Amino acid sequence: MTTDPRMMADKGDAPEGETGVITKTRPRTQRPPLYKVLLLNDDYTPMEFVVHVLERFFGMTHAQAFELMLVVHKKGVAVVGVFSFEVAETKVAQVMDFARRHQHPLQCTMEKE
Ligand code: TYC
């Protein structure tokens, strides 16, 4: 029997070459927050003006724009698109400015998704 540590049998705590602190981290993918652009109903803005806004600033066909305008008209509000903060901000400003220039009370807002 030996007492020399170099001669003692492996106690089997862990397989050789696999000791040490685990340092690997899962890559955390950061997605930018998205913002919904909402169009609100009112009693005065002409339906055709709203349809034009949706075609002009949201790239919808006349049929898509008419359909969504009717959703806003009936339900009071609808999401017209989802964008990055900067794009959403620009769309809201474009719609609000266009409505103001035509003296319509149309309201467009954004909220974080
Ligand atoms: N309610 C308006 C009307 O009857 C039409 C309208 C639709 C106004 C959608 C705003 O976001 C709107 N003339």
Whether pLDDT at 25 is above 60: yes
The parent domain of residue 71 ranges over 43-112
Going from the Cα of 38 to the center of ligand 1, the distance in angstroms, rounded, reads 13
Residue of 43, 47, 77 best suited for mutating to test ligand 1, as the one with most atoms within 8 Å of CB: 47
In a domain, 57, yes or no: yes
Q: Measure the N-to-C terminal CA separation of the chain; round to a whole number of Å.
A: 72
Residue 46 CA: which ligand 1 atom is closest? 13
Q: Pocket around ligand 1: residues whose beta carbon is below 6 Å from it?
A: 39-43, 45-47, 50, 69, 72-73, 106
**pLDDT attached to residue 20:** 67
Mean pLDDT of the chain: 87
In a domain, 93, yes or no: yes
In a domain, 60, yes or no: yes
Distance of CA 40 to the CA centre of its chain: 20
- Which of residues 17 and 35 earns the better pLDDT score? 35
Q: Hey, which residues does 33 pair with through a beta bridge?
A: none
In a domain, 69, yes or no: yes
pTM for this prediction: 0.78
Domain count, the chain: 1
